[in-house]
Amino acid sequence: MRSLIALVAFVTCPAVVAAQPAPRPTVLRAARLWDARSGRIVTPGLVVVQGGRIARAGAVPPDAQVIDLGDATLLPGLMDAHVHLTGEAGENWRQDELDGLEQSPAEVALRATEFTRRTVMAGFTTVRNLGAEDLVDVALRNAIDAGKIVGPRMLVATWALGTTGGHCDRKAMAPGLLVKEQAQGVADGPDGLRELVRRNVKYGADVLKVCATGGVLSRNADVDSPQLTQAELDAIVDEAHARGKKVAAHAHGNEGARRAVVAGVDSIEHGSFLEDATLALMKKKGTWYVPTALALEGVRERFEKGGLAPETVAKFKAAAASHGKALRRAIASGVRIAYGTDAGVFAHGRNAEEMALLVAAGMTPAQALRAATLGDAELFGVADRLGVLEEGKIADVIAVPGDPTRDVRVVERVFFVMKDGVVLRNDRAARE
Q: Which of 225, 229, 219 lies closest to 192, judged by CA?
A: 229
What does the alpha-carbon distance between residue 67 and residue 152 come to, in Å, rounded to a whole number? 22
Phi, psi of 37 (to 5 degrees): -70, -50
Q: In this structure, how many other beta carbons lie within 10 angstroms of the beta carbon of residue 107?
A: 12
* Sequence-distant (≥ 6) Cβ neighbours of residue 301 within 8 angstroms: 346
Q: DSSP of 87-125, one letter per residue?
A: ----S-HHHHHHHHHH--HHHHHHHHHHHHHHHHHTTEE
Beta bridge partners of 268: 249, 289
Q: Give the residue numbers annotated as catalytic, written as ranges.
A: 209, 342
Return the C-alpha torsion angle 56, 384, 117, 403, nearest 10: -60
Provide the residue type at 228 as one letter.
L
CB hemisphere CA count around 396 (13 angstroms): 26
CA distance 356 to 352: 8
In the chain, the amino acid numbered 32 is R
Q: CB within 8 A of 97, min separation 6: which ones?
A: none
CA distance 302 to 366: 31
